Amino acid sequence: MSDLDNTTKTPEPIQPVRAPQLALDDQRRIKVLSPGMLVAKRFFRNKLALIGLVILVLMFIFSFLGPVLSPYTQTQVFYTENELDKDYAGAIINTELRYVVADGQEFGALARANFLLAFGKQQPTFTASNVGYSYVEEAEGSYRILQLETVAEDLLGQLIPASGKTIPEGLEEAYFDAKAARESVFEFNDKTYHITTQGRKTFISTEQNVAIASLSIFDAYNAQDSSVVDSFAFRYASTAAIRDNETQFEVNGKPYTIEYDEGITTIKTPDGKDFAEVSNIIVNPLDQREFLPVEFKTLAREVINERGSTFTFDGIEYKVVRVNTNYYIKRATTSVVIKMFDFPSPQHPVGTDNNGMDQMTRLMYGGRVSLMVGFVVVLLEIVIGVIIGGISGYFSGNVDTALMRFVDLFNSIPYFPMIIIFGSVMDTLEVSPMARLFILMAILGLMGWTGIARLVRGQILSLREQDFMVATEATGIRTSRKIFRHLVPNVMPLLIVIATGSLGGVIIFEATLGFLGLGIKYPLASWGSIINIASDPFVMTTYWFIWLPAGMLILLTVLGFNFVGDGLRDAYDPKMKR
């Protein structure tokens, strides 16, 4: 044998066979995903659903995080200072007689009315309450009113003394002389006698001063001198002096001087101090708590007489504006006013509303209320609908019939009129805004569950015949567990789709109630109540920032819920998309 034959061959090592590397592609990966992950994958592949989800996330951040970051509160009112020409005083040329009654005399409303009537008819005498009166024109626009006291009566050409009176010697001759001369007034023994006729009777009477009626306005320079200026003696003496263009007169032994200047007469004391001013122009403050110095009235009267437009008093400029026969004296006044309907600015990006509150902050808080109402109402509808529909669908028979008739009863109630009635009742009872919010959510939830109950009933009627329900019968679990642990979870995907679709509808309905004034009340805000401010056509056409942002937020929120609802529907049942 050769060496080659005797050589032992070493066997080669056996290489292990490696299994081929398997990578999960999309198709294999889907097969190992849970049903929930499958739904999520389908949902996130839907671009519109993602857009709707982004919109809703932004709305929630705006509504719930925005108020925390906002520097303002929901009810904070903002003010601003404006300089306006505000009415300060008024003036008018006097056309009404003003009366000053002598001490110890009376001249009431009836006597004054009869005087005006006699003056209009140009009758020299008049009576009031069986008392005779006469008047004498002291000056232009000033009249002295006299009370007549009967001394005697002319009876068939013979004077008969009045009760308790005696006829002075020589009075009868003086009377007949005046009567022959057809005079109604005559003098005798330094007394003035009046001849008056009442029907067929003729009386002879003496006179006594009762009052002064004048168109002139007397203003005292000092308040303590008002009693003197308004006394009958002062008015009588000054009027007579002004009538005769005299420069001096005396009252109770005290002398006064008079200065005349273009419709304004100034009465001064002997030492030259201004005492009173006489004019036919009334100047009074519009606020009765204000006191107008006579110097102010003098300047105002001079401007009115000269037909001017401005004057300055104590360093303040006043404007005189004439409206018909009235004159309004205005001055620039700094007023603190509410910043109502203030246009957008860096301080208020969306402006202010009709109450001077920041519109952006109100929109944030309004979003809280609108979204909360939507979620609470839909949750309440689902809870009631699932309970009623689940029991009805599982038991069927008489229970199903009774519950469905109960649903029919609710459906027969007029939904919108009932909401309006409840809103009006709460207005009448003046329910607080927060209590009104909870009551509104309860009413909307209790009135809108019937559709969900019918849907749950129909689904459970079909599900209870499935094999898994037969298994639950075999295990002997209690009925409530069968309904709410095994049947209702199989209906949840459909309920989720319905809930997302209903949220938008509830938000729109709440906005409608707010717009009609039946929803959320001040100081709380909702998007609907904010739009209610624009119910005035002028506000709607002028202040776009009041209603447009709230309308856009409602539009985007409802659109977001609709997009998400459609995405969930397609994710739970892809066949519907096909």
| pLDDT single digits (tens) 473-525 | 656 677 677 777 767 777 877 888 888 888 888 888 888 888 877 788 888 88
The set of long-range contacts for 463-472, using a CB threshold of 8 Å and a minimum separation of 24, is 463/487, 463/490, 463/491, 464/393, 464/394
Domain assignment present for residue 221? The answer is: no
Most confident option among 21-35, 342-356, 514-528: 342-356
User: Do 399 and 315 belong together in one domain?
Assistant: no
Domain assignment present for residue 227? The answer is: no
- Looking up tokens 């009366």 gives 99
Helix (H) or strand (E) holding 259: strand 254-261
Domain assignment present for residue 53? The answer is: yes
User: Do 401 and 287 belong together in one domain?
Assistant: no
Q: Are 546 and 383 in contact (CB under 8 A)?
A: no
pLDDT in tens, 43-59: 888 889 899 999 999 99
User: Do 524 and 432 belong together in one domain?
Assistant: yes
Judged by phi (left if over 0) then psi (alpha if -120 to 50, else beta), residue 476 lies in left
Spatial separation of the C-alpha atoms in residues 42 and 37, rounded to whole Å: 9
- Confidence class for position 2, pLDDT limits 50, 70, 90: very low
How far separated are the first and last CA of the chain, in Å rounded?
Answer: 83
Rg over alpha carbons for the chain, rounded to the nearest Å, is 50
Q: Which residue, 171, 197, 214, sits at the end of a domain?
A: 214
pLDDT in tens, 265-282: 899 998 888 899 998 888
Residues 237, 239, 244: CA angle, nearest 5 degrees: 95
User: Do 108 and 208 belong together in one domain?
Assistant: yes
Dig out the tokens for 537 from the structure: 């056509």
User: Beta-carbon neighbour count of residue 64 at 10 Å?
Assistant: 14
Spatial separation of the C-alpha atoms in residues 24 and 31, rounded to whole Å: 10
Number of domains, the chain: 3
User: Do 307 and 370 belong together in one domain?
Assistant: no
- What was the pLDDT predicted at 14? 57
Dihedral sign (CA 521, 522, 524, 526): positive
- Confidence class for position 535, pLDDT limits 50, 70, 90: confident
Domain assignment present for residue 356? The answer is: yes
User: Do 507 and 535 belong together in one domain?
Assistant: yes
User: Do 393 and 298 belong together in one domain?
Assistant: no
User: Do 59 and 154 belong together in one domain?
Assistant: no
Domain assignment present for residue 468? The answer is: yes
Q: Indicate if the pLDDT at residue 62 is higher than 60.
A: yes
β partners of residue 201: 198
- What was the pLDDT predicted at 1? 43
User: Do 511 and 372 belong together in one domain?
Assistant: yes
| Helix/strand/coil for 225 | helix
User: Do 320 and 414 belong together in one domain?
Assistant: no
Domain that holds residue 467: 39-71+350-577
pLDDT in tens, 284-340: 888 888 888 888 998 998 898 888 899 999 988 999 999 888 999 998 888 888 899
Helix (H) or strand (E) holding 576: helix 574-577
Domain assignment present for residue 3? The answer is: no
Q: Are 32 and 561 in contact (CB under 8 A)?
A: no
Domain assignment present for residue 33? The answer is: no
Dig out the tokens for 121 from the structure: 């008819």
Question: In the Cβ-directed half-sphere of 572, how many Cα atoms lie within 13 Å?
Answer: 15
Spatial separation of the C-alpha atoms in residues 68 and 46, rounded to whole Å: 33
Domain assignment present for residue 223? The answer is: no
Sequence-ordered alpha helix ranges (H) in 153-231: 171-180, 226-229
User: Do 496 and 383 belong together in one domain?
Assistant: yes
- Confidence class for position 20, pLDDT limits 50, 70, 90: low
User: Do 532 and 446 belong together in one domain?
Assistant: yes
Spatial separation of the C-alpha atoms in residues 383 and 379, rounded to whole Å: 6
